[in-house]
Amino acid sequence: MSHASENADRTRVLIVDDSAFMRTALARMIASEPDMEVAGTACCAHDALEKIASLDPEVVTLDVSMPGMDGLGVLRRVMAQCPRPVIMVSAATERDAETTFAALSAGAFDCVPKQLSPSSLEISHIRADLIAKIRSAAQSHRSRSAARAEKKPPQSISVLQLTSGSAAPAIVAIGISTGGPRALEQIMPRFPAALPVPILIVQHMPVGFTRSFAERLNKLSALKVCEGSHRELIRSGAAYIAPAGLQMRVARRLSDAKVILNIEHHPKDAEHTPSVDVMMNSVAQVFGNRAVGVIMTGMGSDGLEGMTAIFREGGLTIGQDEASCLVYGMPRACAERGVLSRVVPLTDIPTHIVHAVSRRRRPA
């Protein structure tokens, strides 16, 4: 393969940050990857917009907080004028979290938290996360571009209908990652306040972001949406988001067998914290065939084992379809294993859930 061909296969990344230290550090991380190259760097909004137009990078990393026009303003201009994957680089503060959620709603691909302290400028801890998200962003962009160019119809798999004898569901467990904040903002307002079951949500998210995200969804939804608390009794008409950096399970309280949340650090060896698999496996164990598992947009395969457990118990399993996913990784893993009862577009997911949980078995 020629040198020119090798360069053509690399993902070209533009780095936008007002900190010279951050630009240099991020550039070194990206340049060290054999399938990536730094197309350029920019220190402010004006510089960023000019270089996006002239350099045409495949992926942009964008600082949330910059003087003048902030990252959110730049993102909105990019999405309106020359759309492409943008990864927001954000501090894990409440103010920056709100701006990051607004950016994800406006079309940002994902976010990477930078946690600098006055005593340390070390950011090597973000490297794996940053590189994985750049790689996923480029892959997603190429797949969507190829699908548009070939005008392929959306792929689908065979759908199994819920049998009339199935038990009425008692809980909904949702697993989601990349593209999740925007997707959840679209579906959560579609649930009625009187939903007769609780919803548990594991959204892969940096530490410091889930409380703000829960508050944001709560304002948009008729359901009560909150960050899950340890030993909390779960209730119908409410949605519980797993706190970032902790695992969330369900268990029956010994005193009265009512279902509560266990929020803890274990298992520490799980690939994700929180983990969709950890949450869904507990749901399958406690609720059996009365569980509904929903797997949505995201990188990787977290949720595959949990969805498999719910499916084997006889519960209803729903996967988001490829056409409506930002990243068709987690649903694809479940579809390929054959553990999805239904595959539906994003905006149809609430309808299927509401219909399923509203069913009541006829008296014998």
Q: Give residue 59's identity as a one-letter amino acid code.
A: V
171-358 in CATH: which number? 3.40.50.180
CB 169 within 8 A of CB 356: yes
CA–CA separation, 23 and 40 (whole Å):
10
Q: Which residue has the tokens 């996913």?
A: 325
Which amino acid, residue 211?
R
Equal CATH topology for 3-150 and 171-358: yes
- The SS3 assignment for 126 reads helix
- C-alpha distance from residue 42 to each of 23, 61, 107, 168 (Å): 8, 10, 20, 55
- Give me the amino acid identity at 141: H
With a cut of 70, which residues of the chain have pLDDT below it?
A: 1-8, 92-94, 115-122, 144-166, 360-364
pTM recorded for the entire structure:
0.88
Q: Active-site residue 302, yes or no?
A: yes
Which of 17, 96, 136, 204 is catalytic? The answer is 204
Residue with tokens 């902030």: 70
CA 36 to each of CA 43, 146, 244, 357: distance values in angstroms, whole numbers, following the listed order = 21, 20, 29, 47
**Among residues 70, 302, 324, 341, which one is catalytic?**
302
Domain boundaries of the chain, sorted by first residue = 3-150, 171-358
Catalytic-role residue among 90, 136, 140, 177: 177
Virtual torsion, Cα 348, 107, 65, 207, nearest 10 deg: 40
What is the rounded distance in angstroms from the CA atom of residue 35 to the CA atom of residue 15? 16
Phi, psi angle pair for 361, to nearest 5°: -65, 135
How far is 91 from 247, CA to CA, in rounded Å? Answer: 23
pLDDT of residue 37: 97
CATH T-level fold of 3-150: Rossmann fold (3.40.50)
